[in-house]
Amino acid sequence: MCDILMVTRNGVVIFEVKSATEVKDEYIDDVAFQEYVISKCRFTVDQANIIYINTYYVRNGKLEYDKLFTIADITEKIDERRNIININEDLGVINAILKYDMPKTHIGKQCKKPNECDYCKACWEHIPDYSVFNLYRVSDKAYSYYEDGIITLNDIHESGIPLKGIQKLQVDTLLSGEPVINKVAIKKFIDNLKYPLYYLDFETFQEAIPSHDGIRPYEQVPFQYSLHIQHEANGEQVHKEFLGKEGTNPKRALAEQICQDIGLAGTVLAYNMSFEGTVLKKLAEEYPDLADHLLTIASNLDDLLIPFRETWYYTKEMKGSFSIKSVLPALYPPEAMAAFPRMATMTAEEVDETRRNLLKYCGLDTYAMVKVLDKLREVAE
């Protein structure tokens, strides 16, 4: 089914509308199939197009749809694809599947690319939770292991396949059950932290169609942060937080508040600090009057991820992942990013409850960082 079909004197023009930010090969295949069906219905396709989001557009007042969307003519690309794909042959396979049972197909790269198949859970149910597919940066090599009958990390060990770096560490710690702890490196990391110590975590949301002025499609818009502050090692924690007003662009208010909450001295500790650094630098670009303070905060960032990414502290439970959810299981609702833009349409009671939940969840993220550093101090001593 075409998203938009326009009849002209020369035939029909078709438009496939995507929420993506570029033209992908699978979209061209999609439109090529539409063109095939239309031609079988004895219509001539004069032109084929894909409409996608223009991420350079910045809203300023009423939405300008001609700037929000980009229209790409892919008529010639469809002609090129027709020489590569055989739709008649594909239809034969599809009809056979519809008439009979699900085909017996080995798992492989096609399960996840270009998108994850809806039947992954069924086809992968024989794969254990911790397998060769969890090896650090294993990429497509895991499928080669699988085809050779190597599925678990114990299989890797017994096969004698040589591993290096973090992959070897994964197998060794699983077999020994003992954590890896580099006390010297951890202590040096901790000693380099300067007080006051700020534990910072941002929450952001994205929209395909910006609802407020000054926002681009799919821009990471910061609407909330949590901040735990310690003025000395193992000292009392002071918690500060910000949550934007529903139905508004929260960036300016957030930038002003963070400049009040975080001073110009001390270490600002984040987990995977590149994200926090990017948010701060973009705010500095947008608000020149706050730029000096925001950039100073960004320059004072240090990364709590480092001791784990460098495997100064590693346990088998991390399963080759260094996210904070692997390092310290904590409450982290995936719906947080979607909740803030929805608040503009909620009742007053729903807004109050949502705000309480968002503040609680974001606060737990920085509290988790406090506990991670406490643990690092403990093992270093």
For every residue of 249-299, which 3-state class applies, written as one string?
Answer: CCHHHHHHHHHHHCCCCCEEEECCCHHHHHHHHHHHHHCHHHHHHHHHHHH
Residue 362 is predicted with a pLDDT of 67
The encoded tokens of residue 187 equal 């202590």
Question: What distance lies between CA 34 and its chain's CA centroid?
Answer: 31
Where in the chain are the domains? Answer: 4-87, 126-165, 186-380
Sign of CA dihedral 189, 191, 194, 196: positive
- With residue 73 as reference, give the H or E element that holds it: strand 69-73
Q: What is the pLDDT along the chain (381 residues), one digit of tens a residue?
A: 899 999 999 999 999 999 999 999 889 989 999 999 999 999 999 999 999 999 999 999 999 999 999 999 999 998 888 777 778 788 888 888 888 777 777 899 999 888 899 888 889 999 998 999 999 999 889 999 999 999 999 999 999 999 999 999 999 999 998 989 999 999 999 999 999 999 999 999 999 999 999 999 999 999 999 999 999 988 888 999 999 998 899 999 999 999 999 999 999 999 999 999 999 999 999 999 999 999 999 999 999 999 999 999 998 888 888 887 777 542 223 454 556 667 677 788 877 877 777 777 767 788 888 888 988 998 888
Residue 331 is predicted with a pLDDT of 26
Contact assessment for residue 242 and residue 258, using Cβ atoms and an 8 Å cutoff: yes
CATH number of 186-380: 3.30.420.10
CA neighbor of 203 nearest in space, from 43, 36, 361: 361
Residue 80 is predicted with a pLDDT of 82
Residue 113 is predicted with a pLDDT of 86
Question: What distance lies between CA 335 and its chain's CA centroid?
Answer: 13
Longest dimension (CA), the chain: 81
Contact assessment for residue 73 and residue 15, using Cβ atoms and an 8 Å cutoff: no
Whole-structure pTM value:
0.82
Residues ≥6 apart with Cβ < 8 Å to 170: 134, 135, 136, 153, 316, 319, 320
Q: Cα(290)–Cα(252) distance, rounded to whole angstroms?
A: 10
Residues ≥6 apart with Cβ < 8 Å to 117: 110, 111, 123
Contact assessment for residue 77 and residue 43, using Cβ atoms and an 8 Å cutoff: no
Residue type, 336: A
- With residue 32 as reference, give the H or E element that holds it: helix 25-40
Residues ≥6 apart with Cβ < 8 Å to 65: none
CA neighbor of 204 nearest in space, from 242, 240, 238: 242
